[in-house]
A and B are shown apart, each in its own frame.
Chain A
Amino acid sequence: MERRKFIQSMFSASAVAVVATPMGAFAKEEKKASKKGPNDMSFDDAVKAITDGKEVKDSDKVKLSVPEIAENGAVVPVKVNVDHPMEEKNYVKAIHVLNTANGNARCADIMLTSANAEGYFATRIKLSKTQEVVALVELSDGSFIKSAKSVKVTIGGCG
């Protein structure tokens, strides 16, 4: 009697376990999906949203300085210098700092005016893994130029 009960309980327990494992796996998957950030955007979408389909040229005028190897992905210094006059009608309109592999490709959009006198911007950004940082510059005549550099990230900084 005792033995039969014991075996029965064993069976029911294993049945529960069998049912529970796929449920657990499912729950895990759901969690992974919810790891998406609130305003994720791919790099191509971000570029399209900024340029509206216009051509973007690579240019030496944009000087992007980032470290080649970033030990800590949570703090990556980025500096953008645009070699372009800042006159009243001919100036750097905006600098967009983008990345290629984070959940949200946009880091910061900076709208400059002629009062800035120099197309310069510096900040620190987070990078999740080894990827490229892109500085996309909009000039006041509506044309776009860019510069990209890859950064090796040892420890990702996006949580």
Chain B
Amino acid sequence: MNTLSVLQQWSRERAALSATLAPRAVAIALDKRRSISGIRWRGELVVTAAEALAGSDEVLLASERGEQRATLVACDLATDVAVLRIEGGDAAAGPVISEASAPTAAALEAGAGVVIVGRTRRGPVVGFGTVRAAGPAWRSRRGGEIAQRLEFEAALDGRFEGAVVADLSAAVQAMLVPGPRGSLLGIPAPTIERIVAAVEQHGYLPRPYLGLRLQPLWLDEATRGRWGRTGRSIAAVAGVEPGSPAEAAALAPGDLLEAIDGVAIDSVEGLVAQLAPSDPGRVLELRLRRGGAPQTVKVTVGEWRAPRR
């Protein structure tokens, strides 16, 4: 009777876990030498790190099905999620993606173990790590609403950008993206799912648009006191695009933006954060200060369209 030592079992389970997740991971060739990873999410849709694509819209993708072309469907810099569609592929063909690796909305806890599976054109690459920090939902500076703050500790390189981050039961928890100062962050599965679901519904990612240009202004203490504001700065309207929802609502340069739907705004980022989750068609109530006097205007959020020429 051969009995496995604890270490042998540990090693076999790690290899089995990696093998379960490998069909989810794809390699995305950026050029002849460099590649990043991506996650087969559902059907022909693959997600990867938006920033790393650097404006590419047609990439060569390698998976256990071999090499295929994929085209960009949506690129959301706010959450760093890009969605690609595999061209001419049969969704049913190729390696079976294990049910165990279905994305989960269950939150990770600090200290939990994770497995990170990416791919190069030569095959899967695997790293094991730990959840270094797990915090509440947050907004990126660009206004992206991200379901959970996730930071990992693991020894990884650039090939893992966009890789699968799974818990030790093989459920996909997040996509790996680089953070500030060399940190490793995770974009949680529910955030990715929200974007993929919007792409499936519309065929693209609709973007809210107001047509406002803003600039931050510092408020002196006396003005803050008079206006009953706590923030040191306020967002001033610097311009209104012709034909935009902001123009329809008669917003004008010099208007100072105080609140949206009752949420105090004190910076340009504040508006970005409020606008980001708005669907085109939603009506926002803007509280302004115009010529020193408070006013309220309603603006119907538009949808961003490429300028015609």
Whether A and B are associated in the same complex: the answer reads no
